[in-house]
Structure 1
Amino acid sequence: MDPALLSQPFRLVNLGVAALMIIGAIAQYGDITPQHIIESIYLFTFGLSTALLEFRNIPQVYRYASFMFSFIGRGCFYAFVGSVLYHKSPWSWVPGLIIGIVGVAYAALEFVPSIEPPENMRDPDSGYDGLGEGV
């Protein structure tokens, strides 16, 4: 399948996940405790960073957060964020559940050789190496 054809849906999914992270961050303010405030700051930062990666490919991000440039890395990150959001409020657990499901789907896509990550999810310096191919 043409990688350019799949690029736009992945971008929309990633932007949707970023929006859900920000919604979940705002929902953390339902309980004003130090834990929820810190979680909210992290989730808001993760949401903004995920959205920014859809528009700009920053080489420093690859250096320090290279997991965001593969399906399995981004999938595990999304599953982690989804589990952090899974609280008692529907404004938290619904976005958390959706983000977690997207994370599991992304991790599974790493093992589908016919689907390559979109351009913005690849190493900016070298091409896509793929799972199991040379480093």
Structure 2
Amino acid sequence: MSETMPPVFFKVANLMIGSMALLSSVSQLTYIVSNFNTFLLAIYAIPLSALIIVLEFQVPSFLYKYCSFYFSFLGRGLFYILLSFLINTGGVFKMLVTLFTFLLGLIYVAFEFLPQIEEPANFRAEGAPISVDDDDDDEII
């Protein structure tokens, strides 16, 4: 019996993480005077979280070549865990966003090892096989 996650789950989860991490990292920019290290982490977190939102609507072709970690559950999960460490400074809202991002990262890592969970359509590049490891038909004679 094969179970599949509804594609809307991944879209909603990625949009929530992207938007909450983007808001959290933009609010971290106010730490420029009091904590410059936190400000620098926000500079890194802003484009990374904005890219999560962009990937839900369009996939730039060069991104699959240079940032392939965005297109697997393991890569995306580890990326969410890294992003949670980048945005973990601040008040209660930011701590909740950090916790939610970290937990979703752990869930995505677990999805990588569950064969019944199928990857969403936006994890595949145009013209690419269903998964990154799927090279059955690539024999050269």
TM-score (normalizing by structure 1): 0.86
Residue in 2 aligned with 1:61?
63
Residue in 1 aligned with 2:139?
none
Ranges in structure 1 where 5+ consecutive residues have no aligned partner: none
TM-score (normalizing by structure 2): 0.83
Q: Aligned-pair distance for 1:44?
A: 1.5
Assess, with a 3 A threshold, how the Cα gap between structure 1 residues 2 and 59 changes in structure 2: closer, same or farther: farther
- 1:41-52 mapped onto 2 (5 Å cutoff): 41-52=43-54
Distance in 1 between residues matched to 2:45 and 2:53, nearest whole Å? 12
Residue in 2 aligned with 1:119?
121
Query: Which portions of structure 1, spanning 4 or more consecutive aligned residues, are displaced by more than 4 angstroms?
Result: none
Write out per-residue CA displacement over residues 94-134 of structure 1, whole angstroms, 9 at most, x where no aligned residue: 21111010000001001110111100012333122366x54
Assess, with a 3 A threshold, how the Cα gap between structure 1 residues 128 and 55 changes in structure 2: closer, same or farther: same
Write out per-residue CA displacement over residues 63-111 of structure 1, whole angstroms, 9 at most, x where no aligned residue: 1110000000000000110122222422322211110100000010011
Larger Rg: 2
Taking only the aligned residue pairs, the percentage that are identical comes to: 26
Residue in 2 aligned with 1:15?
15
Residue in 1 aligned with 2:39?
37
Structure showing the higher helix proportion among its residues = 1
Assess, with a 3 A threshold, how the Cα gap between structure 1 residues 86 and 114 changes in structure 2: closer, same or farther: same
Write out per-residue CA displacement over residues 23-67 of structure 1, whole angstroms, 9 at most, x where no aligned residue: 211231342243222222221111211100000021111111100
What is the alpha-carbon root mean square deviation over aligned residues? Answer: 2.1
